[in-house]
Amino acid sequence: MMQQDNRLGIVVSGSLSKGVEVRLDNSTSVEDMVVGRYVTIEGHKQRFFGMISDVSLGVTDPNLALTPPDTTDPFLTEVLVGSGTYGQLQVMPYLTIGGNVANIIEGPQPVKTIPSHFSLVNLAQESDIELVFGKEDKERFWIGNPLDMETKLCLNLPEFVKRSNGVFGKSGTGKTFLTRMLLIGMLQKGACVNLVFDMHSEYGWAGTSEKGRTVKALKQLFPAKVAVFTLDEENSRRRGVSTDYVVRMGYDEIEPEDISLVRQTLNLTDQAVEAVYQMKRRFGKDWLRCTTELDDSEETREILNQLNIHDSTFQNLQRGLNTIRRLPFIQERSPKKVVQHVLEYLVRGTNVVLEFGRYTDITAYILVANMLSRRIYSHYREQVEQAMADGIAYPIPLVITIEEAHKFLNPEVAKQTIFGTIAREMRKYNTTLLVIDQRPSGIDDEVMSQLGTKITCLLDNERDRDSVLAGIPGKGELKSVLAKLATKQQALIFGHAVPMPVAFQPREYGSAESYKHFTDLEDSDEQTEKDIEELWD
């Protein structure tokens, strides 16, 4: 009986590359069909699992479209609906489920053929979706529900963090929200350790929802597993955030490579970047202070002459370095190297969220993110190589979350920044990226192609859509799904960690009940009650 209720129509034509065409039954209204929904197709030998990628209207006689019937007459319209006119679906089959031995043992397999003519098409049942996306368990994290369905969509997190991933979407579509949830998932399932460069202070202690309400972030949900570092102590204190460490960087921690990465934002010339290396050779560890303190004297000119640095290049360099010196968290001497401090936490399995506070300026963000990541990455690399040599356990996988990724990964700098390297070298050294960006077209193609799983909210720029979907089978069909996503709380996920692309609605976040699900704490009932009480206060 259930089968009958879910019947949509039959397959009438199609191809593997373009998907199959499904003629809707008379009883099925075309208005009930939604792009992105799942269907199963009962082929003669196997079952197929696919997604609706387009909905269209057809007429059997072109005259009908040229001289349409009098619509004031319900009888004529009633007769013609489903006979002279009909609804049609374009369905992209992605997987075969059940049927043959391989499917039963290994689960759903990618399609290599299409269902035969007149195969029955049904709306996918919850059990089918569960079969494809798995149930919530030790490794799978519930991220939301497929559009218009109650079924849980689960993501295999250990598989997810094996590669670099991306979260895209134009501003205000819920990227931060999604990322926070993914981070919670990684914490909940203990799949990896995270280092989050939190540009807008949304992930550490509390974030804000679209409605302006404050929602709990990582530290509040997992106090034992998360450490909040801040660059701006005052800002954190004002927001009532309990921070674990105030980041201060010494001049001696900045190296010439760090300067070359902020070249664009500091407006430095090629010669000026080259001069940095010479200064380092000349002054050693203290080069930054020395370079900026060189005054307009005979002695300085002599040094410049020796190093063969032109005066205008030097001016350019000094201006740039002064911008860095003015950043309040950069100090002449810092008590402890911040990199080591971060590493200590990460090695212990504690996740680190670095809040930027008021320093949302892109120079500060790029500089700090690059400086830390480069050193942490090289440490990880050493550890992995050591582990390989000694045959001991690898370090816990590290996921580095960066926002405004196109600033790090655009084609001009992707080759130089550490993030370009991490994205390309991927899991070899157990370090991957979670890239968050609103202009994916600004990211280097090579980096984009290496991202394992991509989650994208609405993108309305054609180039951005092309860039996100580049190289995906059935790109045209997915593009139409992507273009039709709602502006909020809808996203499309595809790639390595999911068996097929899915448009979904992220799970609820921000209510007391939702926190309870996220934390899995023993005293969660108590906590929930407390939260509910707080809501009434």
Q: Please give the residue ranges that form the binding site for another protein (CB under 8 A).
A: 26, 60-61, 63-64, 67, 69, 73, 75-76, 78-80, 82-84
- The least distance separating another protein from the CB of residue 24, rounded to whole angstroms, comes to 14
CA-closest candidate to residue 244, choices 354, 169, 163:
354
Between the alpha carbon of residue 511 and those of residues 180, 187, 519, 532, 534, the distances in Å are 14, 19, 13, 9, 11
- The least distance separating another protein from the CB of residue 12, rounded to whole angstroms, comes to 14
Residue 69 or 473: the one with the smaller Cβ distance to another protein is 69
Residue 23 or 374: the one with the smaller Cβ distance to another protein is 23
- The least distance separating another protein from the CB of residue 63, rounded to whole angstroms, comes to 4
Residue 10 or 342: the one with the smaller Cβ distance to another protein is 10
Cα–Cα distance for residue pair 390/242, rounded to 1 Å: 40
Residue 32 or 61: the one with the smaller Cβ distance to another protein is 61
- The least distance separating another protein from the CB of residue 75, rounded to whole angstroms, comes to 4
Buried b (16+ CB within 10 A) or exposed e, 273-301: bbbbebbbeeeeeebbbbbbebeeeeeee
- The least distance separating another protein from the CB of residue 74, rounded to whole angstroms, comes to 9
Residue 60 or 113: the one with the smaller Cβ distance to another protein is 60
Which sign, positive or negative, has the C-alpha torsion 295, 300, 305, 309? negative
> Do 160 and 191 form a contact (C-beta atoms < 8 A)?
yes
- The least distance separating another protein from the CB of residue 79, rounded to whole angstroms, comes to 3
Q: How far apart are the first and last CA of the chain?
A: 49
- The least distance separating another protein from the CB of residue 13, rounded to whole angstroms, comes to 18
Cα–Cα distance for residue pair 169/491, rounded to 1 Å: 9
- The least distance separating another protein from the CB of residue 91, rounded to whole angstroms, comes to 24
Residue 61 or 332: the one with the smaller Cβ distance to another protein is 61
Burial class (CB in 10 A: 0-12, 13-18, 19+), 429: buried
CA-closest candidate to residue 225, choices 513, 521, 525, 507:
521
Cα–Cα distance for residue pair 216/204, rounded to 1 Å: 9
Residue keyed to tokens 């996220």: 518
Residue 78 or 520: the one with the smaller Cβ distance to another protein is 78
Residue 73 or 148: the one with the smaller Cβ distance to another protein is 73
Between the alpha carbon of residue 319 and those of residues 84, 359, 363, 374, 455, the distances in Å are 74, 19, 14, 25, 40
